[in-house]
Structure 1
Amino acid sequence: MAKASTLSIEGIRRTILRGEWSPGERLQPITLATRFETSTTVIRESLTRLAGEGLVMIRPNRGFFVTELDLRELADITELRCVTEALAARLSIERGTLAWEADLIAAHHTLAQTARRRPEDPDHVNDEWSKAHREFHLKLLEACDCAPMVRLSSNLADSTELYRRWAAPSSAAGGRNVEREHELLLEAALNRNADDLAQLLREHYEATVKVVIEAGLVDAATTSV
């Protein structure tokens, strides 16, 4: 049962992140059980777990739904992330060793050498790139040597993942030079320039909010930010 649950959780998570279901769409356990070749009990357990990750909503007496996008929430999360990571980045630069620098360069090299989009699937972000992207950003902050701060940054990154993934097919996302943004982040860290790094991180994250708006995923005109 545990293995089946893990497989269904990963399958549903991957499908949501790829945007196969629309924000707010109802998720039918019977249909999902057939798709993922498991029981409705396992599916319900998986959906409940994913609700804890913010990918699924549970509405009493109505069932399970894909989470809806909220621009105000994204803006708030982004601001909290910018403030948190500005402090974490400053501490990383103060406390980071040469070994940290070497690990950061290696993490960036992996990211730079991993295709953000595969030729056979240009509308979606490559899962391997997403993993390398996450590891690079965590490595930037790792040397702060403050586990609660790193954990908070990681959780905030998870909270924006759905927005980034769903915006991926848009022309706004495709036209962004993310590779150069990461190069500048690396340079600021290696130059031990905390102010530049904090500002570049803010610009990097706020650019994601702009892409989400331009992608038309939420109605910016009716949402207060």
Structure 2
Amino acid sequence: MAGTRPLSDSMDEINDTVGEQAFRRIRSDIISGTLKPGQKLKLERLKSQYGVSVSTLREILNRLTTEDLVLAEGQRGFEVAPASVDNLREVGDLRLVLENHALALSFAAGDLDWEAEVVAAHHKLSSIEKALLGGDADRTEQWIKYDFAFHHAMISACGSKSLLAIHQSIFDRFMRYHMLAQSFRGGGVAEDHGELFRLALARDVEGAQAKLASHIHLGIDHILSTGKL
């Protein structure tokens, strides 16, 4: 029949969708700390937990090794990447290099639509931070979502999909440590975001880069102060 797609093509699409969903769930569970640093990733257990085949799980876990979220142990299988002070500092440095470069490109190219995106992202983040400062500790995961959205909005006009994708991967690895620390930094982080917002709208590249460096380093100090690593 004209226009009918082969069943095999449809099944491949369904399988790809299921595999992508499982990939996102496993990746999210690693970043959130649900799957803990150093935890052995037993394929049979994960098969029932995430509803995909062992072969698909192997593909997913090998894919996550490229982001340093999973370690492949040869014949011994896979485990969640460990957390360490050195790795936290390394990831923080990588984030700073990538985000500073993207900020400069984005500030130069951003138009009125970009400004509107930054305004909207900061408004949402600021609302969550006010709730956290008011004692609503259950909003931490939501804060991480809007924290990324704000930082992403500031660099979204950089003109490089590859740069944005790499930045998101590094940002998520950095946020993993915040989730492991299970502690919101408080008023200081909200003030940082307010200043970054002002500097973004002013297109002040040097000021924003300096504030971002302080923001990231203070975040590292806060994570280490919790004693969770």
d(CA) in 2 for partners of 1:98, 1:3: 35
Match of 1:59 in 2: 73
Structure 2 match to 1:13: 27
3-state secondary structure, aligned to 1:125: helix
Query: Normalising to structure 2: TM-score of the pair?
Result: 0.77
Q: Which residue of 2 aligns with 1:158?
A: 172
Measured after TM superposition, the shift of residue 66 of structure 1 is: 0.8
Q: Does 1:141 align with 2:152?
A: no
Q: Using the alignment, how far apart are the partners of 1:175 and 1:114 within structure 2?
A: 12
Q: Which residue of 1 aligns with 2:221?
A: 210
Partners of 1:16 and 1:66 within 8 A in 2: yes
CA spacing shift, 1:31–1:202, aligned 2, 3 Å: same
Where do 1:65-84 residues align within 5 Å? 65-84=79-98
| Identical-residue share of aligned pairs (%) | 29
* Inter-partner Cα distance in structure 2 for 1:2 and 1:96: 35
**Amino acid aligned to 1:125:** T
Structure whose alpha-carbon radius of gyration is higher: 2
For the Cα contact (< 8 Å) 2:185–2:222, is it kept in 1? no
Spell out the pairing of 1:52-201 with structure 2 (5 A cutoff): 52-114=66-128, 122=137, 125-126=140-141, 128-167=142-181, 169-170=182-183, 173-175=184-186, 177-201=188-212
**Corresponding residue for residue 18 of structure 2:** 4
**Structure 1 segments unaligned to the other structure (5+ residues):** 219-225
What is the SS of the residue equivalent to 2:79? strand
Distance 1:4 1:39 in 2: 10
Take 1:87 and 1:50, find their aligned partners in 2: how far apart are those partners? 25
User: 146-155 vs 205-214, which deviates more?
Assistant: 146-155
Matched-pair contact (CA < 8 Å) for 2:31–2:172:
no
Equivalent AA in structure 2 for residue 202 of structure 1: A
AA partner of residue 130 (structure 1): I
1:142–1:37: structure 2 CA closer, same or farther, 3 Å change rule? closer
The alignment's C-alpha RMSD in Å is: 2.9
Q: 1:138 to 1:18 in 2, by over 3 A?
A: closer
Contact 1:5 1:45 in 2 (8 A): no
Structure 1 residue aligned with 2:39: 25
Question: Which protein is richer in helix relative to its size?
Answer: 2
Q: 5+ residue gaps in structure 2?
A: 1-14
